[in-house]
Structure 1
């Protein structure tokens, strides 16, 4: 390493120092999905980021999706996926695939990757420690208000028992959570990963919630990134139609989190390598910060 490069590295570390000090001992919940969990170099970068955060005293909790992987396996099995308002209709056969992919293949791949880079990850589903209690999702709050739906074994979070996450979080371990909930009879439910992450962030009293997406963040009417927004500004942009389509459910999760006590939600482009570190530990960041 030459002197100029070494000075650049030192500058980056000095810039990160106040953020490391501010967030040491704090919990951050990261919803991990999109390209970030399908492209190899991004997967490796995310795993290293999570390990580094734990090493400097931040407590990351990872909640992952897996929709494309579920869809691929269903297709190989000859089963067609049906969606209503962006949610996968989940019969019992599909739920078996969801549990196999989310609770098994995807979860364990993330755990193994974090461990490869020196972390101590532990894979969980909602059944472990009665972490996520669920009930059938019967209504969706869309642009036209509440709409009744029949999605089969798609669930909503009824309650969260954070004890097992606290136990892991306050030790050397990194929880990696598959968004599968269970009712009191042991029935499994497929839960939207954004929603699961938001509910966990609130119950864990998290400092921050990160939602990794395949977009740069929230954009204005000219397509430019909006780096920081208050909840009131988000409401105005939504009413004006600037925020629309697939961004609305993520925005709703972000707003629900900050209005329920999470200090800030970050909507971050998971296609940017080391996006979580850049957003959390630098002055500029790479996504949209949403606060009360």
Structure 2
């Protein structure tokens, strides 16, 4: 396809998305590879300048683990979930709201736009409650475990983000929160992105990760279009597992509450974000309430 055709294919999407809110969850290898991150931010800034209201929500699990190890603290995981004690929470705050957020804001400025870093505990943006004891399968049996200072979202006060968007900024949100007593909590970034998309009545939720989308059991085929029913079936038969589950759970919550489409996209390939949004075929997986079946 020549350049003129690419631009003309993008035009109806640019027109349709103008003025709409899009929430992008940054994750995967982009969080530790500066070159990939810069490309992703270039795309986000382009979306901003073609008239979309862009909110970035970032994770940072690998960097938290690296910082913990550098400080002589070994991360603890149970059933694949991080246990967050007081010291781990302090390190997470330092990495998420400090290093990662400021780096993303700097990249936004480098690419010609204005970013503002906020965490969920700024202005009471995200109110959460400490997660209760969680049943986790460990080996061949289930255990009830306390994950520590990990929160479940109870309320999103979106006015702060709306004010920043109205003023022409790109908010960069760290997945932290407070409870109603002012205690700090760590939040799953996929969950945070989905809840923010719902609160802002976003048009799109995009999750950038290290895989090409939702794949079949053999990991040879990408499902480019899925309905909520399709996703339920793929979860039930075990096709969807591991780290893809929280991404799809957040996507399904968003779609059920009015977000038109939730997308799972490989953020490691240059400009995949733009290709997913502005081409007919896309490059990842789009989840909608009801559409094309498997």
Unaligned runs of 5+ in 1: 1-6
Find the counterpart in structure 2 of residue 4 from structure 1.
Answer: none
Secondary structure of the corresponding residue to residue 2 of structure 2: helix
Instruction: Tell me by how many angstroms 1:257 deviates.
Output: 1.3
Change (3 A) 1:140 1:230: farther
Change (3 A) 1:157 1:11: same
Secondary structure of the corresponding residue to residue 272 of structure 1: coil
Higher mean C-alpha deviation, range 79-88 or range 113-122: 79-88
Instruction: Tell me by how many angstroms 1:187 deviates.
Output: 1.3
> Is residue 258 from structure 1 mapped to residue 229 from structure 2 by the alignment?
no
Which whole-Å CA distance do the structure 1 matches of 2:85 and 2:79 have between them? 16
> Is residue 123 from structure 1 mapped to residue 120 from structure 2 by the alignment?
no
Q: Deviations over 1:236-263 (max 9, x none)?
A: 1222222223222222111111112211
Moved over 4 A (4+): 139-144
Higher mean C-alpha deviation, range 203-212 or range 246-255: 246-255
> Is residue 240 from structure 1 mapped to residue 237 from structure 2 by the alignment?
yes
What is the number of residues matched between the two proteins? 285
Secondary structure of the corresponding residue to residue 153 of structure 1: coil
Unaligned runs of 5+ in 2: 290-294
Which whole-Å CA distance do the structure 1 matches of 2:51 and 2:135 have between them? 38
Instruction: Tell me by how many angstroms 1:148 deviates.
Output: 4.2
Find the counterpart in structure 2 of residue 58 from structure 1.
Answer: 52
**How do residues 195-214 of structure 1 correspond to structure 2 at under 5 angstroms?**
195-214=191-210
> Is residue 47 from structure 1 mapped to residue 44 from structure 2 by the alignment?
no
8 Å contact kept, 2:25–2:193: yes
8 Å contact kept, 1:138–1:148: no
Change (3 A) 1:25 1:143: farther
- Alignment RMSD: 1.8
Which whole-Å CA distance do the structure 2 matches of 1:143 and 1:71 have between them? 22
Instruction: Tell me by how many angstroms 1:154 deviates.
Output: 0.8
Find the counterpart in structure 1 of residue 160 from structure 2.
Answer: 164
8 Å contact kept, 1:30–1:209: yes
8 Å contact kept, 1:64–1:193: yes
Instruction: Tell me by how many angstroms 1:149 deviates.
Output: 3.1
Find the counterpart in structure 2 of residue 89 from structure 1.
Answer: 83
Secondary structure of the corresponding residue to residue 219 of structure 1: coil
> Is residue 179 from structure 1 mapped to residue 180 from structure 2 by the alignment?
no
Find the counterpart in structure 1 of residue 223 from structure 2.
Answer: 226
Change (3 A) 1:148 1:253: farther
Instruction: Tell me by how many angstroms 1:184 deviates.
Output: 2.5
> Is residue 153 from structure 1 mapped to residue 153 from structure 2 by the alignment?
no
Instruction: Tell me by how many angstroms 1:268 deviates.
Output: 0.7
Change (3 A) 1:120 1:275: same
Higher mean C-alpha deviation, range 130-139 or range 24-33: 130-139
8 Å contact kept, 1:221–1:242: yes
Change (3 A) 1:253 1:129: same
Which whole-Å CA distance do the structure 1 matches of 2:126 and 2:80 have between them? 22
TM-score by length of 2: 0.92
Find the counterpart in structure 1 of residue 292 from structure 2.
Answer: none
Find the counterpart in structure 1 of residue 72 from structure 2.
Answer: 78
> Is residue 289 from structure 1 mapped to residue 282 from structure 2 by the alignment?
no
Which whole-Å CA distance do the structure 2 matches of 1:63 and 1:119 have between them? 17
Instruction: Tell me by how many angstroms 1:142 deviates.
Output: 7.1
